[in-house]
Structure 1
Amino acid sequence: MSGRNVERVEGRYSALAPGYTEVDEDRWVPEHGKSVYRSSFERDRARLLHSSSLRRLGAKTQVVSPDVDDFSRTRLTHSLEVAQVGRELGRLLGCDPDVVDAACLSHDLGHPPFGHNGEKVLNELAAEIGGFEGNAQTLRILTRLETKRFHPDGRSAGLNLTRASLDAAVKYPWRVHQAPLRPDGTRSPKFGAYEDDLEVFTWLRQGVTGTRQCMEAQVMDAADDIAYSVHDVEDGIVSGRFQLKFLDDDIQRARVIQTTQEWYLPETSEDRIDAAIERLAGVEAWTRESDGSRRALAALKNMTSELIGRFCGAIYTATRQAHGSQPLVRHEADLVVPTETLEEICLMKGIAANYIMASREQMPVYVRQRDVLTDLHGLLVETGDRFLDPQFQADYRAADDDAGRHRAIIDQIASLTDGAALEWYATLVHGKPVMNRLFA
C-alpha cells in the first residue's frame, strides 16, 4: 500500500491516500468493518470490474458497431483505455488512482444501444419523464440498477460505492435545469442526475457548493477526451474510412476544420484550428497513410501513444505550474488544460466526426437504429411489464405512477446491448428469427 496513510481501525486497516478523509470513504449504506488488505477505493474499483453493466459495454457501439470488425473499439475496450490514461495522469497529480480508475470504468455505463444515436432517441421517447441522458443513467446504474447492497427499507443502493468514487463518476454534476448556458443562450443537454435520483446525488455532493467537478472527475473527463480523440481516429483509419493524408487536400482540410468548429470549438477561429493541424502533422509519429500491414499498424499504435503522451504531458505540466507539487484531490484544485492542447484534442475528435459520425453513408444506419428503438419502446409501453427482465419488471410493478413505470421501460431498453436490441426488435416486434446484423 505504498503512498498511503495506513491506520489501524477496530482491528483492521484503513488505507487512505494523502488528502482524503473518512468522509470521502463514506458509503450511502454504511458497511461495517474494513478490508484487511484493500482500501475502500480499491474495493470500489473491484465492484465495477465485476459488474454486469461493465461487461455489457463489450457489445455496445463506440464509433463503429461491434459487429463490423474485430479491431474497432467497443464501449468496454474504450472504458479500459480511458481508465489506463486516467489512472496514470491522476496518480501523477496526487489523486487516488483507484478513485480515478473507478470513475473511468463507470463513465460510459449509462450509454444505451447504438451509442449517441440511441441516446438521442431515448431522450425523445422519455421527454415527458425528464428525458434520458447517458451520464445521469450512469449514476442511476451505480446507485440503483446494478445492485450489491440494499437500504434497511429494502430499496436498492446499487454498488454502494464511496462518496469520493461516486462524485468522481459524475461527469456533469448538475440537474437538468442547472445545465450551463451555451453560446447561443440555450442550456446544454448534458446533466448528471434525474430528479428521482436526487437523494443520492445530494448525498454524494455533500459539502460541495455549486456545480464544479471534483479533481478526479476532471481527470476522468480529460482522459475520456484524450482516449477517444486518438483512438477513434485510429479505428477510422484501420476500418478504411479515411487516411490522414486527406488533410493535405484543401477541400478535405476545410471540411475537417468546419466540422471541428461546429461540433467542438464554436468560439475558435478557423485559423487556430488549421494551426492545430500543422502542429500535429509535425509530430514525428504522425502517420499520413496506412496500408494495413503489421508495420503500418505498429506505426499507428506508435502515433496513438505519442499523442496521448503529448496531451497528458501538457496537462500535467500546466496543472503543476498552477498548483505546485502537493497532492491535488477532490475539490481542492482544478485541472489545467492548455488552449493549444484543447484545440489539438478537439481537432482529433473533429477528424473522426467528419469521416465517421457525420458521414452520409452512416445515415441509413442511424435511421434504422432509430426505428428499432422507437418500435421496441412502443411495444413495451403497450404490453406493460410482460416482456421486461425480472429486475425491471419488479421496478415497473413497484412504481407509484405512470412516470415511474415508463422509466422502468426506458431503463430496460437502455440496458440492452446492440445485439440484444436487434434481437428483441426482431422477435417481439416482428416475430422473426434473431438478426445478427442491422442489415441482415
Structure 2
Amino acid sequence: MAAPYACEPAASRGRYFAEEESAFRSPFQRDRDRIIHAGAFRRLKHKTQVFVEHEGDYFRTRLTHSIEVAQVARTIARALGLNEDLTEAVALAHDFGHTPFGHTGEDALNALMAPYGGFDHNAQALKIVTALERSYAEFDGLNLTWDTLEGIAKHNGPVAAPLPFALADYNARHDLELDTHASGEAQVAAVSDDIAYNNHDLADGLRAGLFTDEEAAELPIVGPAYAQVDALYPRLDRKRRRAEALRRVFGVMVADVIAEARTRLADTAPADVDALRRAGRPMVRFSDPLFAQLKEIRAFLFAHMYRAPTVVEMRARVTRVVQDLFQLYMDRPDHLPREWSADVAAADDATARARLVADYIAGMTDRYAFERHEVLVAGTTPMPARPHP
C-alpha cells in the first residue's frame, strides 16, 4: 500500500515536452525503461568505480554498481511504501554523469573546467537525460518526468548556490525546486548508493589484496558480521566466509536505514510528497550511531584502498590522460568525431568550446579514453576518431 507521502504516477508533474502516455506503463515505468535503453546506460559497463576498467573482470563497474543500487533501492522503497518504479529510475540514472576513471577523472575534468564554470557529475547526468541523449525525433534528451529529473538533480539533498553550470542552465527554464529536499524515492536512491559502495568497496579491496580479512574484521559492523559467520560455520572456506560476512554487512545497513526512516517519517508525519520535500531535513538516512561506524569504515578504505600505491599510481596516469585529451580537443577540434568537431569549431567563445569538449570527454568509457590517448597523444600519426561508443 502506498504511503501518503509517496509519489503517485497519476500526480506526476509531467514532462517538459507533452507526450501521450502509455496505456500499459506508468510515467515512472517509462522513465525507467528510457534510462535502461539510453546509450549513457550502456557506457556504464566500461566505466569503473575505483579500479580502472582493464584491471580485473570481477571489480565493480558503474553499470554493476547502478544495478546493485537499484536492487537495494527497490527493497527500501517497498518497505517504506514509496513508489518503486520512480526509485528505480533515479537509482539507475544516478551515475550517468560520471567521467571515465571514476572520481579521479571527475577531479581532473573539474580542475580543467574551473575557468569555465567547473564540472559536476550530478549536473552532467541531468544534461545527459535532457540534452545529450539524441534518439527521439521530437526532442533532445529522454524527456523524463519532472519527478525523475528532480531526483537526478538533487537526490543528495538541496543544491546550494552557486549552482553547477549545467544544472543552472537547465533549471532556468524548468524549475526543479533545487532549494528543497527531493522526494522520498530519490532519497532512497541516494542512501542506496551509499549502501552499495560501502559494501562493494570492501569486497573489491579484499579481492585486490589491498587489505586482509583479518584487518577488515577489526572494523565496526564488519567484525561482528565475521564473528556471526564463524559461529554458524566454523570451518567455512575463505571465499564463502567473506561473502557471508559482507552479505550481513549489507543487511545491517539496509535494516538501519529502514528503521531510521520509519522513525523520522512517524515523527514528521508528512501529509504528502511536497510536505516531505519541505520537511527541512532528510527522511531517509542512516541512524547517527551507524553513520559514525560507517565513517570509520570509510577512513579505513581511504587509507588502505583509495590511497594504496597501485591506485595512486593509476590515478596519476589517468589524470594525465584526461588533461592531455582536453587540451588536444580544445586546440584541435578536428580530432573529434564529425558530429562534435563542427559544434566545437563553431563555438562562440572558449567557455562554450570547453563545455562541449567536457561533454565529450565525460561520455568516454575508460577503454575509449585510453585508446584515444594512445592514438592522438602517444602515437606518431593522428587518426580520425572512430564513432563515440
Shorter-chain TM range is 0.7 to 0.9
Look up the match of 1:29: 17
RCO higher in structure (CA 8 A, sep ≥6): 2
Using a 3 Å threshold, how does the CA distance of structure 1 residues 329 and 86 change in structure 2: closer, same or farther?
Answer: farther
* 2:389 is aligned with 1:420: no
Amino acid at match of 1:299: R
- Local SS of the residue matching 2:161: helix
Q: SS of the residue aligned with 1:203?
A: coil
State yes or no: 1:282 paired with 2:224. Answer: yes
| CA distance in structure 2 between the partners assigned to 1:404 and 1:139 by the alignment | 18
Structure 2 CA distance for aligned equivalents of residues 41 and 17 of structure 1? 16
1:199 corresponds to which of 148, 153, 172: 172
Alignment of 1:321-400 (within 5 A): 321-324=263-266, 330-333=273-276, 334-384=283-333, 386-393=334-341, 395-396=343-344, 399-400=347-348
Contact 1:111 1:134 in 2 (8 A): yes
Q: Structure 2 CA distance, aligned partners of 1:340 and 1:26?
A: 39
Question: Structure 1 residues 60 and 17, CA, compared in 2 at 3 Å: closer, same or farther?
Answer: same
Matches within 5 A, 1:14-413: 19-20=7-8, 22=10, 24-31=12-19, 33-149=20-136, 156-170=139-153, 171-172=155-156, 177-178=161-162, 193-199=166-172, 202-205=174-177, 210-246=179-215, 277-284=219-226, 295-324=237-266, 330-333=273-276, 334-384=283-333, 386-393=334-341, 395-396=343-344, 399-413=347-361
Change (3 A) 1:330 1:39: same
Deviation at 1:375, TM superposition (A): 1.1
Q: 1:144 to 1:426 in 2, by over 3 A?
A: same
Code of the residue aligned with 2:252 in structure 1: it is R
8 A Cα contact 1:392 1:411, kept in partner = no
CA positional deviation for 1:150: 6.3
- Per-residue CA deviation, residues 215-247 of structure 1 (Å, 9 max, x unaligned), is 222111110111000111011111211113126
**Structural RMSD (CA):** 3.1
Amino acid at match of 1:169: I
CA 1:149–1:426 in 2, change beyond 3 Å: closer, same or farther?
same
| TM-score, normalised relative to structure 2 | 0.85
Offset at residue 169 of structure 1 (A):
1.5
Where does the alignment leave 5 or more consecutive residues of structure 1 unmatched?
6-15, 180-190, 254-276, 435-440
Structure 1 residues 332, 312: CA separation in 2 closer, same or farther (over 3 Å shift)?
farther
> Do the aligned partners of residues 87 and 395 (structure 1) sit closer, same or farther apart at CA in structure 2, a change above 3 Å counting?
farther
Number of residue pairs the alignment of both structures matches: 370
**CA pair 178-24 structure 1, distance change in 2 beyond 3 A:** farther
Structure 1 residue 433: Cα displacement? 9.5
Q: Give the helix-richer structure, 1 or 2.
A: 2
Distance 1:175 1:404, change over 3 A: farther
Amino acid at match of 2:190: D
User: Is the contact made by 1:73 and 1:235 (CA closer than 8 Å) also made in structure 2?
Assistant: yes
Q: Which amino acid aligns with 1:363?
A: V
Amino acid in structure 2 at the alignment position of 1:245: E
**Sequence identity percentage:** 31
Residue 310 of structure 1, CA deviation = 1.1
Instruction: Tell me the distance in 2 between the aligned counterparts of 1:247 and 1:401.
Output: 51
Structure 2: 5+ residue runs without aligned partners?
277-282, 383-389
On the 8 A contact 2:2/2:82 being kept in 1, the answer is no
| Deviations, residues 365-400 of structure 1 (Å, cap 9, x unaligned) | 21111111111111111112x122344335435644
Cα distance per residue 1:399-433 (max 9 Å; x no partner): 44331121111111111111100111111112269
- Measured after TM superposition, the shift of residue 40 of structure 1 is 0.8
Q: Would you say the 8 A contact 1:86–1:223 is kept in 2?
A: yes
Q: Is the 8 A contact 1:25 1:41 kept in 2?
A: no
Q: Distance in 2 between matches of 1:64 and 1:408?
A: 27
Q: Which amino acid aligns with 1:226?
A: I
1:104-146: CA deviations, max 9, x gaps? 1111111111111110110111111110111111111111111
Aligned mates of 2:236, 2:273 — CA distance in 1: 43
Separation in 2, partners of 1:58, 1:329: 37
